[in-house]
């Protein structure tokens, strides 16, 4: 019997806001402007399901960018992610017009409570018949802290210590209802077996949570876990908990090393490396001809503004660059305090400077520009060639971000996906009804995570 060819996972990287993660996208002539309406997100959802995407997931931040200049004025004036809707509400608007597309949302382990997150995502998973994922983040800056009554954001490794315990509580609550606990019988008046519904009674360093959770298990067991940590501590967290890792590959060679490191980490955590999908972020600019694609690329690149990068990098690193000389190097102490350690390390590596300046951070990170991550540009065949090379050596799929909405995804569905399907690299139809099933992941039973997480 022939083995089924390995196929890539495709995930759309969405924002519930006025632009995609490329801030200049709202300035694109073809980008739609009804991003405060359900129709905007439902239009995207239908396109993605037509293209047989595995999933769409929403990034999220819990504050308007206001670190640059200690003010939100430029953010609002120039539309630098000035609007940010609550993502699970938007997710459900998309669920209403789809039946197979997986849907993920970001929720923070630093500013929410485990019981709330466990109940919310378990309910979403039931209401979508097993199509939901939770993107686990620890948040990143003092603006978010201020919105939740804190003076400053937690230190990096402490956030991950809290996140590990947060996951233990959430997963424990998802174990509350054992398989087969419910057997409602109107004649006998018995609803479920109380011996198969358990309290958690968790008491730890950060949390106390009793339970039982009031939501039974879904068709896929529990929501798929996404994670994007790239620092050493973040990678350890991913190795223990993640089922899909949203990666950042500056180059293919770097990606090969990251991919192997992630797989090795999962194995060392006692898990099957094949149970983890690694998907690097990618921008695709595709057209009917190479020249048309290059013209589009030039237009898209021209949409960025200096304020985009300065605002976004300040938000990401929790540093106000506004009053600092552009070429003044950061001290070792200042660099040690940077919130996003993997981005700091990337800037040090790319710039070749142990103590980079604001200029180095802006140029090496590419934040706010088209150069923030790899761009595959060309015809459908040319883009598919590049994707195939990466897929065969460094990843299990891709997280695709948009430079215009919904145009980017419409172009991918029209020109790239048919080429991938022709090569046997991507499905022609959904094979399963759940997100986990379409990703080729086994359905976990209650308590399975305890046998590998330590």
Taking only the tens place, the pLDDT of each residue in 142-154 is 899 999 999 888 8
Is 426's pLDDT higher than 90?
Answer: yes
Query: Average pLDDT, stretch 205-220?
Result: 96
Known binding-site positions: 60, 106, 156, 160, 231
Q: How confident is the model at residue 340 (pLDDT cuts 50, 70, 90)?
A: low
Strands (E), 154-216: 182-185, 190-192, 202-203, 208-209
Residue 56, φ and ψ in degrees, nearest 5:
-115, 135
Taking only the tens place, the pLDDT of each residue in 158-196 is 999 999 999 999 999 999 999 889 999 999 999 999 999
Taking only the tens place, the pLDDT of each residue in 38-63 is 999 999 999 999 999 999 999 999 99
Known binding-site positions for FMN: 60, 106, 156, 160, 231
Q: Which residues contact 285 (CB under 8 A, 6 or more apart)?
A: 293, 296, 297, 300, 375, 376, 377, 378, 403, 408
Of residues 397, 350, 81, the one with CA closest to residue 247: 397
Is 377's pLDDT higher than 80?
Answer: yes
Per-chain mean pLDDT for the chain: 92
Hey, what domains does the chain have and what are their CATH numbers?
Answer: 9-291+375-450 (3.20.20.30), 305-367 (no CATH)
Q: What is the pLDDT of residue 4?
A: 65
Query: Average pLDDT, stretch 370-394?
Result: 95
**pTM score of the predicted model:** 0.92
State both tokens at 39. Answer: 């129709």
* Burial class (CB within 10 angstroms; exposed 0-12, middle 13-18, buried 19+) of 161: middle
In whole angstroms, give the CA distance from residue 447 to residue 96.
31
Out of 119-128, 225-234, 293-302, 401-410, pick the least confident: 225-234
Q: What is the pLDDT of residue 24?
A: 93
3-state secondary structure of 377: strand
Q: How confident is the model at residue 347 (pLDDT cuts 50, 70, 90)?
A: confident
Is 453's pLDDT higher than 80?
Answer: no
Burial call 403-419: b when 16+ CB within 10 Å, e when fewer: bbbbbbbbbbbebbbeb
In whole angstroms, give the CA distance from residue 418 to residue 425.
10
Strands (E), 45-123: 55-59, 102-108
Is 413's pLDDT higher than 90?
Answer: yes
Q: Are strands 190-192 and 102-108 parallel, antiparallel or unpaired?
A: unpaired
């Amino acid at each position: 019997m022939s083995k089924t060819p390995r196929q890539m996972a495709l995930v759309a990287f969405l924002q519930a806001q006025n632009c995609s993660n490329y801030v200049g996208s709202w300035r694109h002539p073809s980008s739609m402007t009804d991003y405060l309406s359900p129709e905007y997100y439902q239009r995207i959802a239908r396109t993605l399901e037509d293209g047989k995407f595995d999933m769409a997931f929403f990034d999220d931040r819990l504050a308007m960018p206001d670190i640059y200049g200690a003010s939100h004025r430029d953010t609002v004036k120039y539309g630098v992610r000035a609007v940010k809707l609550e993502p699970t509400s938007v997710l459900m608007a998309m669920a209403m017009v789809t039946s197979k597309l997986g849907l993920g949302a970001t929720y923070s382990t630093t500013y929410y409570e485990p019981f709330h997150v466990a109940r919310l995502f378990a309910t979403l998973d039931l209401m979508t018949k097993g199509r939901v994922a939770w993107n686990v983040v620890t948040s990143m800056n003092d603006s978010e802290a201020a919105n939740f009554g804190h003076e400053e954001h937690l230190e990096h490794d402490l956030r991950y210590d809290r996140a590990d315990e947060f996951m233990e509580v959430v997963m424990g609550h998802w174990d509350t209802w054992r398989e087969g606990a419910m057997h409602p019988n109107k004649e006998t008046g018995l609803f479920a077996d109380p011996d198969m519904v358990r309290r958690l009674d968790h008491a730890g360093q950060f949390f106390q949570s009793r339970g039982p959770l009031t939501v039974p298990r879904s068709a896929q067991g529990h929501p798929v876990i996404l994670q994007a940590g790239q620092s050493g501590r973040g990678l350890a967290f991913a190795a223990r908990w993640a089922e899909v890792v949203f990666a950042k590959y500056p180059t293919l060679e770097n990606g090969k090393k990251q991919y192997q490191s992630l797989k090795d980490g999962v194995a060392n955590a006692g898990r099957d490396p094949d149970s983890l999908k690694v998907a690097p972020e990618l921008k695709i600019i595709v057209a009917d001809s190479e020249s048309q694609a290059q013209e589009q690329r030039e237009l898209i690149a021209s949409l960025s503004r200096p304020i985009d990068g300065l605002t976004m990098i300040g938000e990401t690193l929790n540093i106000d660059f506004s009053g600092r000389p552009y070429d003044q190097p950061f001290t070792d102490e200042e660099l040690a305090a940077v919130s996003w350690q993997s981005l700091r390390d990337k800037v040090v590596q790319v710039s070749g400077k142990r103590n980079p300046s604001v200029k180095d951070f802006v140029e090496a990170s590419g934040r706010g520009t088209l150069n923030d991550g790899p761009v595959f540009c060309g015809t459908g065949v040319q883009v598919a060639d590049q994707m195939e090379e990466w897929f065969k050596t460094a990843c299990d799929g891709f997280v695709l971000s948009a430079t215009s909405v919904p145009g980017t995804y419409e172009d991918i569905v029209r020109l790239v996906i048919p080429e991938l399907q022709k090569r046997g690299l991507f499905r022609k139809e959904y094979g399963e009804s759940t997100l986990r099933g379409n990703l080729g992941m086994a359905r976990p039973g209650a308590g399975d995570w305890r046998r590998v997480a330590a």
